[in-house]
Chains A and B, each alone.
Chain A
Amino acid sequence: MRHLLDTKHLSREDALRILDVAEDMRDTQSREVKKLPTLRGKTVVNLFFEDSTRTRISFEAAAKRLSADVINFSAKGSSVSKGESLQDTAQTLQAMGADAVVIRHGASGAPQTLATSGWITAGVVNAGDGTHEHPTQALLDAFTIRRRRFGDDSRGRDLAGVRVAIVGDILHSRVARSNVWLLHTLGADVTIVAPPTLIPQDLSAWPVQVAYDLDDAIAAAPDAIMMLRIQLERMNAAYFPTEREYSRRWGLDATRLRALPEGSIVMHPGPMNRGLEISADAADSPQSTVLEQVANGVSVRMAALYLLLAGDRSDTNAQEDAR
């Protein structure tokens, strides 16, 4: 793997490889010494053009647990606010010897541009671009579903037959897009649930079923229900009348939580708007995997950085197994 840009083009084999390596990484995180020497001497740059707390610190923790050096770069207060282009920023990082660039950008496709432009030789990890994709979030979600289902027996398994409902702002959500592609690749059945205004107009290429009523979707007994954050900062038009109405019709409240089948899980990528898309009862219930998702995020990002950075980056030097 040279880059991790999206889940749409991620093969089933590569996806399972990341998830299986993440299992090994997870095992090391319960030890007294959580740090591995694997990426000693490598430099990972967190290049964040958009605000993010949990994704950035998750990548930072992942890189540090693998002994890589981490440079955090946020657009606020940087030369970007003075008008520097992505190309100049990238070339500056290249000159500083970055081995991997973790990029979050408001423009869909910015990581792709960075990876294919020839400006840098570093591995590029997409940490969320516009309304396009957020692959590591989808990978950690799949990892969480798989662990809840199979426990320590998770290695090598896909999600065939698992039914997942993704509820909320599908239109603006890169998390939803990455999850749809990855869950489909892993064999899960995905239903998206949202008001018609928050569903993309053309879904012909999406391997999903669509529901407009959350109670119908819950009655269909999903194995996992993924509540998306209502992205108030992206709401420049009126997609629903009021927050209260949204909460009443598409929010996961205590009544709907009780209607979910036993053993199903409630997921949220965070940060949560408590009382809007998810009630406190649902967020804090034993079915909720919110904190597991955060913990698993570090393991999955360690796996991605390991697979991107540990091997020979020229991809030609296939030596025999030196003992």
Chain B
Amino acid sequence: MTSTESPRTVMHAADIARALTRISHEILESNKGPDDLVVLGIPTRGVTLAERVGGLLAEISGTPVPVGALDVTMYRDDLHRNPTRTPHPTEIPAGGIDGKTVVLVDDVLFSGRSIRAALDALNDIGRPAAVRLAILVDRGHRELPIRPDFVGKNLPSARAERVNVRLIENDGVDEVTIES
């Protein structure tokens, strides 16, 4: 038995790779192919995941899929309750998002407030035909009526627990851990 104090690994590198491959297949299935897809990651680890999903989508479908980054810092509703956050660059692929199906990608879905901010940010950039949400870990405790379309792993958690997603590009290792 591991102690509740130490972090417990809930996804290893192979689990993350399998989850992303499945999510990519599901995205192509629900979109009936790769046409008009735009994958946007939410900084910082969502961008890494979006790049991986974009690569997988291109590999599976044989068509390149545009990938970008959508920073939501300026749209957050909790800015004044935290120390000043440094924004990250937003990079929208050259084709824009008007009339496209945008797949938002983030590492952890918790309160849903980041996603609300992301929807507001998208609104200022263009008008997508549809917005979908892909998440590596859904840990519950939603505070808004937001649900993901594609989920890597459902992870029941206590509100006080901490879920950490580490990715090779950002942290040198692929793993998801939970600690209390």
Which A residues contact B (CB, under 8 angstroms)?
Answer: 1, 17, 20-21, 23-24, 27-28, 31-33, 35-38, 66, 155, 306-307, 310-313, 315, 317-320, 322-323
Q: Would you call A317 and B114 a contact (CB within 8 A)?
A: no
Does B158 lie at the interface of the complex (its beta carbon under 8 Å from any beta carbon of A)? Answer: no
Q: Would you call B90 and A36 a contact (CB within 8 A)?
A: no
Could you say which interface size class chain B belongs to?
Answer: 20 to 34
A155 to B86, CA, bound (A): 12
Give 5 A-B pairs besides A38-B75, A306-B84, A317-B82 with Cβ atoms closer than 8 angstroms. Answer: A36-B75, A311-B83, A312-B80, A319-B81, A323-B111
Q: Would you call B109 and A323 a contact (CB within 8 A)?
A: yes
Q: Would you call B120 and A310 a contact (CB within 8 A)?
A: no
Which residues of B lie under 8 Å from residue A31 when comparing CB positions? Answer: 124-125
State the Cβ distance, A101 to closest chain B Cβ, in Å: 18
Q: Would you call B74 and A317 a contact (CB within 8 A)?
A: no
A-B contacts counted at CB < 8 A amount to 77
Q: Would you call B110 and A318 a contact (CB within 8 A)?
A: no
Q: Would you call B162 and A323 a contact (CB within 8 A)?
A: no
State the Cβ distance, B98 to closest chain A Cβ, in Å: 10
Instruction: Give the top 7 A-B pairs by smallest Cβ distance, nearest first.
Output: A311-B84, A323-B110, A33-B124, A38-B74, A24-B87, A36-B74, A310-B79
CB under 8 Å from chain A, chain B span 41-99: 71, 74-75, 78-90
Does B108 lie at the interface of the complex (its beta carbon under 8 Å from any beta carbon of A)? Answer: yes
Which residues of B lie under 8 Å from residue A21 when comparing CB positions? Answer: 86-87
Contact partner, A310, options B80, B109, B113, B123, Cβ 8 Å? B80
Which residues of A lie under 8 Å from residue B123 when comparing CB positions? Answer: 33
A167 to B80, CA, bound (A): 42
Which residues of A lie under 8 Å from residue B71 when comparing CB positions? Answer: 24
A21 to B125, CA, bound (A): 19
State the Cβ distance, A181 to closest chain B Cβ, in Å: 23
Q: Would you call A38 and B89 a contact (CB within 8 A)?
A: no
A184 to B78, CA, bound (A): 36
Tell me the nearest residue of chain B to A24, going by C-beta: B87
Which residues of B lie under 8 Å from residue A28 when comparing CB positions? Answer: 74, 90, 124
Chain B 16-54 interface 0/1 with A at a Cβ cutoff of 8 Å (1 = within):
000000000000000000000000000000000000000
Which residues of A lie under 8 Å from residue B79 when comparing CB positions? Answer: 38, 310-311
A38 to B86, CA, bound (A): 13
Which residues of A lie under 8 Å from residue B87 when comparing CB positions? Answer: 21, 24, 306
Give 18 CB contacts A-B under 8 Å: A20-B86, A24-B89, A31-B124, A32-B125, A37-B74, A38-B75, A66-B74, A155-B89, A310-B79, A310-B80, A310-B85, A312-B80, A315-B83, A317-B82, A317-B83, A319-B81, A322-B78, A322-B111
Which residues of B lie under 8 Å from residue A318 when comparing CB positions? Answer: 82-83
A132 to B85, CA, bound (A): 30
Contact partner, A311, options B85, B113, B126, Cβ 8 Å? B85
Which residues of B lie under 8 Å from residue A20 when comparing CB positions? Answer: 86
Tell me the nearest residue of chain B to A20, going by C-beta: B86
Contact partner, A27, options B86, B89, B109, Cβ 8 Å? B89
Contact partner, B80, options A24, A33, A311, Cβ 8 Å? A311
A319 to B113, CA, bound (A): 15
Q: Would you call A311 and B82 a contact (CB within 8 A)?
A: yes
Tell me the nearest residue of chain B to A307, going by C-beta: B84
Interface centre among B75, B82, B89, B162 (most CB of A within 10 A): B82
State the Cβ distance, B17 to closest chain A Cβ, in Å: 23
